[in-house]
Structure 1
Amino acid sequence: MTRRTGDLTPPAKPTRAQRKAELLSRIEQQRIDILVEAERWQLAAAPLDAGWQRLKRYRGLVYLAGGALLVGSARHPNSLIRLVKRLAAGGLLLNRARRLLQQVR
């Protein structure tokens, strides 16, 4: 049995009010999603922010030390390179030791 084209009724178009309500509910859901993601992002970034605040307290000392290193490096560049390498190695060693102690506990 075949159907004729006249037998099928097209789906009803949503009214303007229904479409507006649907769009408003979609916007509201997107706002909620943004708020949830913003909170998650702030929680994830909290350790970085705390570290940055700690560094900001010593900003003057960092500027002073940086200036001293620049003056010293202008006169003896090889000694500065050696010092930076040793500081980086020491920082990595401390970080690994801290992680190892956390795993042992």
Structure 2
Amino acid sequence: MSRHDSVVKPPTRAERKAALLAELEQQRIDMLIDSDTLLRASSPLDSQWKSLKLPLYAIGGVAALRIARHPGGAMAAGRKVLAGYMLFRKLKLLTKVAT
């Protein structure tokens, strides 16, 4: 047995291309299977969302109307939410520094 018999040749360009195309085809098949699984898993949520959509739109419309008529209350609430968020961030930063 000579030294040249144990040398493994790298795959040719055509072989690499064929391997990549086979891998792509397998990925497409996997994505089709996964998307079908996702659709089956999310179908109960979709049906519940359809039943809640109209009431949520109505509530959102009423809230938008109230905000349009009395913007001062919404602005005050927005300032309080922003202040709370900033306080939360500051406390989070302080706990990081303290530990």
TM-score, length of structure 1 as denominator length: 0.50
Structure 1 stretches of 4+ moved >3 Å:
60-65
| Counterpart residue type for residue 35 of structure 1 | L
Q: Which runs of 5+ in 1 are unaligned?
A: 66-105
* Aligned match of 2:47: 50
Q: What's the CA shift for 1:8?
A: 4.5
Q: Which runs of 5+ in 2 are unaligned?
A: 64-99
Matched, 1:25 2:22: yes
Name whichever of 54-63 and 15-24 sits farther off.
54-63
Q: Distance in 1 between matches of 2:38 and 2:17?
A: 31
Larger helix percent = 2
Q: What's the CA shift for 1:40?
A: 0.4
Q: Distance in 2 between matches of 1:7 and 1:17?
A: 23
* Aligned match of 1:36: 33
Matched, 1:10 2:7: yes
TM-score, length of structure 2 as denominator length: 0.53
Structure with the greater alpha carbon radius of gyration: 1
State the identity as a percent: 39
Aligned residues: 65
